[in-house]
Copies of this chain bind each other. A is one copy, B any other.
Amino acid sequence: MADPTSPLARPFPAMPAIAGVRLAVTRAGYKNWERADLTYAALDVGTTVAGVTTRSKCPSPEVEWCRAALTLGRARALVVNAGNSNAFTGNRGRAAVEAIAARVAGHVGCQPSDVFVASTGVIGVPLPIDKAEAGIDAVIQAPEADWRAAADTIGTTDTFAKGASTTAIVDGRTVTLVGIIKGSGMIAPDMATMLGFIFTDAAVEAPFLQTMLSAANTPTFSCITVDSDTSTSDTVLAFATGKAGNAPLASFDDAGADAFQAALTDLCRQLAHLVVRDGEGASKFIQVAVEGADSDASAHRVALSIANSPLVKTAIAGEDANWGRVVMAVGKAGEPAERDKLSIRFGSIQVARNGLAVEGYDEAPVGAHLKGQEIEIGVDLGLGDGRAIVWTCDLTHGYISINADYRS
């Protein structure tokens, strides 16, 4: 974990073990650092899996591997490497992933396609196969680790460990869902961002787990942005061990499916918010809520235009009630908008209505809202019923410091 810790950090919560999941970590030494950087999860026979991955046109070989393995829907192990993304490394990168899957399969006695692999870190440097293989041999023997250790180990520029858990009643049984996630830069929406791993003891058939994970992704991971930059390695995987003993969920007609979907979406939202809270250099958590758009999709694009605007984000960093920059960001979005129907609020304080500042506009309460850590920008386009919410953070000197010399 990098220092200093984000001022928006949340304490790592107490998270229950998931029957059928065994965690371990070790130091493979992918970078010249004194910390564990290889995370391993052993998954009992019968575990199903679903995933969402980056829409980048230059995906990592790990992403391609997971996509292929996801079509089979079953999982026995997860390996996460930190410090090297292995992306854009050609055949050598593919060979590294294949070697990892084969090594784990040999230990576990499963198919290589039962092994899921994710890597995060610098792009363009092949993952060293010898270090990965030695790391796997070590982690297989390592003592069991807890969620906190796993969440620490998957991080790179993250400043705090991020995890969340929840429960649902399915088929008369309480099932548990836990998730850990990493990510603080190269975070953009419109795909499954970052590396996130969700585990549940519920029994869920793989195709339906995929349906529910995709549905949970849309209003959560796809609605956050730190810097508008989309990673080549973004992956969220959900594993269901079935140990809770419920009748396997196969469709929304099954008892408890709606409850499970709600819990899964809630968990994804918690994890997505934690990623924003650890946005590189972040000092403010910002919710952008757009309503009155032509459509929900249009509202989403307007909200992203605001959330990705460097001038909006620096104004929030400066606690400056410069709402004109929100006008600018709406105007540049390329979506249906009419200047003279546009209204803007900060928190609950209306600042502009129908194309100009409200009568007797008083900046003091807006300034007070901006001094907090939780900021809301509300925009009403006044056109239709479309609405969307996205989350982002401010843009500060910290972002520049972190990213102007991340590799060195």
Contacts and interface: CB of A to CB of B under 8 A. Distances in A.
A219 to B, nearest CB: 21
Interface string A364-408: 000000000000000000000000000000011101110111111
Nearest to A58: B331
Interface stretch (A27-35, A142-150, A222-230): A222-230
A58 B354 CA distance: 12
A82 interface: no
A56 interface: yes
Contacts of A395: 310, 400
B332 A229 contact: yes
A310 B231 contact: no
B405 A396 contact: no
A322 B400 contact: no
B231 A58 contact: no
Interface residues of A, number: 73
Contacts of A122: 322, 324
B407 A320 contact: yes
A330 B59 CA distance: 11
B58 A328 contact: yes
A254 interface: no
A315 interface: yes
A311 B88 contact: no
A331 B185 contact: no
Given A229-B309, A337-B57, A87 B332 contact: no
A355 B325 contact: no
Given A229-B309, A310-B229, A356-B90, A331 B404 contact: no
Interface string A300-324: 0000000011110011011010111
B331 A57 contact: yes
Contact of A311 (B186, B323, B330): B186
8 contacts: A88-B355, A124-B323, A124-B327, A229-B332, A232-B324, A310-B399, A314-B400, A399-B400
Interface of A: 54-59, 85, 87-93, 122-126, 185-186, 188, 227-232, 308-311, 314-315, 317-318, 320, 322-325, 327-340, 342, 352, 354-357, 395-397, 399-401, 403-408
